[in-house]
Chain A
């Protein structure tokens, strides 16, 4: 069931969609994150720029001393909002500020705390600063702000996004499993219906599950097809029955006329007798064909019961042992001690065994040894007829079974050449496997029933 779930289209499709969505969402979230981080950094930089502008304005109104005073004040607050200031004169001597040795840069720079000197009073979390500078009247003012708060913010953002993504993925997978399972159940229902129909219950249909999706449409199509199939087979049976009736009645009349004829001489009497025999041969052939067709169509399956293979074989053996011996063959019946039950039709299985034994009797030049066996192969009941006759060459064995040789090359008097076809039809009806093998020498025919 696990494997089936993973192979189910519904599950796979959902899985693919879930993954695709997750990847897309991840991409979007990543972009959003990077953008947000960029924005946050912008804000920090804006703060720095604003601070620079303020200080420049202050210098213009309060002069150099005012600036130094302001910086000293800011430095005192800076430890709490982690800003750094560096004011140097034209020769690089420090005038004010809590930072020193910030290198010269263009526009802006991100410096790490250990590459410059800062006062210890600065927040220990502040390890990276974004700095900008400006020249005011021969002095160089550098202002910087720590990025650690921004970092914290963006980290939180990243965590939230990752959690959201994970949740999305899990929900997607969970949904996939649910959809997969439900689809799997519906597909199982369809398969069950088709199996039952293949087994012969033509009236079966896929139940209506009230949804209006793809599977529902397929189910409707399947039901329509099954309906047509049932009608077709019905009409086939009807045709067979009609043919049977149409053929039998004229043959009956033919026979009746021949029987009522009063021949005047021996010769005519013989002709009439042979004609009657021919009429009977015609009847026997189409009767056998009709029977095979009906068996192939599943007739009698409803009447299946548990029957003992041993009893069937013993009754066949008791009938044909004498016949075989009269033909010069030796015949033996080999059965185990305990009953071997199979589910099937007694009459048909008797005919199957009889056909095989008769085939052996008729096709072996004497003397041959014919064996009728019943045995268990693991827990598979088997019936076998083996002879030491000419056998069937390996390549012809396939043909005999596959193409359902309806017309034997060696057709004799009352035989209609359909024996093996009948055997195959009966075996198929019982869900049994028919196998032809080399008896070394000779032919062995094995019928293996399902356990």
Chain B
């Protein structure tokens, strides 16, 4: 997955930046501005779109309020249309109660606010033409100079036009959508009836082939539009064609689909799509597959297509907003219209299927796909939860780094195995699982290269591989022979050597739980380059097997010199609580409950022993390959009184960071000193005793509950 851009950096900006931002970019549009102003004026009451604001015309977004002046009688224009039948239903008006409440008036049939009523009343003033259009562009004039104008009004009077509002509803899938989402679609073909007069007022009626109709009233200073839907619109469209004896063959491209249109449709869909992933929808299930973009484009352009109006969304493929069915239909959006195409010749169906079979071909191109990582010499092992909020590192995620001794040989061996294409969900199901909260836990993969959260290539010891191509599409593969999976483990042992920093990370990680108990005195100092110094010292108890920890101490707050008391508890796996008080007054400075991966909660003091160890582990083996490759550290280790002292510093001369860690032979942290240009930090255990038979653990559960309850009270 690509990391989504977020311009968070601009938050909390200084006044100058804010002035620049507001001068260059609009923060609200006119509609929002108007709403805000009305709320301000009405003292926070909801803005009524229908309210007249000082005589200003009600603009097109108020369509849901407008009454329809079109006839609601059920008259078929006798003789105008052959065999047409129409749905009859009373026109829905906005409820009178709301009308009275908000605008003080009730719209009734024949109300001259409606566009059609205005036109009809003054029809003699206007001359009418009709134009055939494609994708909202004029193609050919069908009727000129009032020809058939009388028929127009009697025909329109006979139609049932249902007003379309823009309210949002929840559909049967539980998703919000516009109430008339399908009616609001525009199809490529339309007929525009245009009415012009000498006084620069004009009206147009655009009727699309699906029955969507748009009235527009224009004058010198304003334009009002209103959307309607004609039931049985396809029939109406066809009736109008007959009514005016329109020769559809004379309208170029109404039926033929040009090569230019197809190419533009494909390119625009691809570039407009924010997600170039391909999906297969079969038997009610959705799966991610690989579709080669070049194969997709060339196949479609190499076939002949004609226009259609309906696409069946069952058992189809989707790629960059284009849907394709195995029976030769294709649908998408082009130039603001919903388009459907169909293969002219069913004999071409086999050729069309090359598109969704292109994933199978990719297996043959594996060598080419893997070329992107041929020069890589580092690979990451990633295991555990794949997500943590706010981009933080999850407590249970493990990353380790290896040097690849011979990348070319490794890739050649991989390519020599037999692979076949598969789907993303096959890989996910086989190489991990979701916990009760829906968090995906990976069993582990080797990640090569860097592409956002994961690698360009992910290699799973269970015999799967995903590879990102140059267009950021993913190809998914699995071994044809399951027994070949053990060869992947053998290749890893042969070609991957764990880096020193990851070995240290591994040691520290294991050191958190591979003992029984610990009792120690601890000392902590954090000294800023300004001289400001935070201190804390006290006692630490750890019950490692049950993942419990208790710390209590006294110290000084360098910021204001006040004496502090702190209490930190971990009551099980990654479940912590803490509080820091003013020693003199007992006043709480801050407190909370916390889990390592929580991006929102207030963090405990940085001398939380277990999290401190985790932090060191994550620094040594960071989440992202990019971060690791810039780490660039030198390691030196030596024995000190039976313990291991490791010193690291950066290879970069300008980087003055230095870390010294002292570990027991089993990996428990005894001390850590870290310094950079801004501050120096030290943490040390002394008088420590491991695995004492007399060890007793404070009641972490009750301390945790006390802090948690106090925290919940303060939240109310």
Do chains A and B stick together as partners?
Answer: no
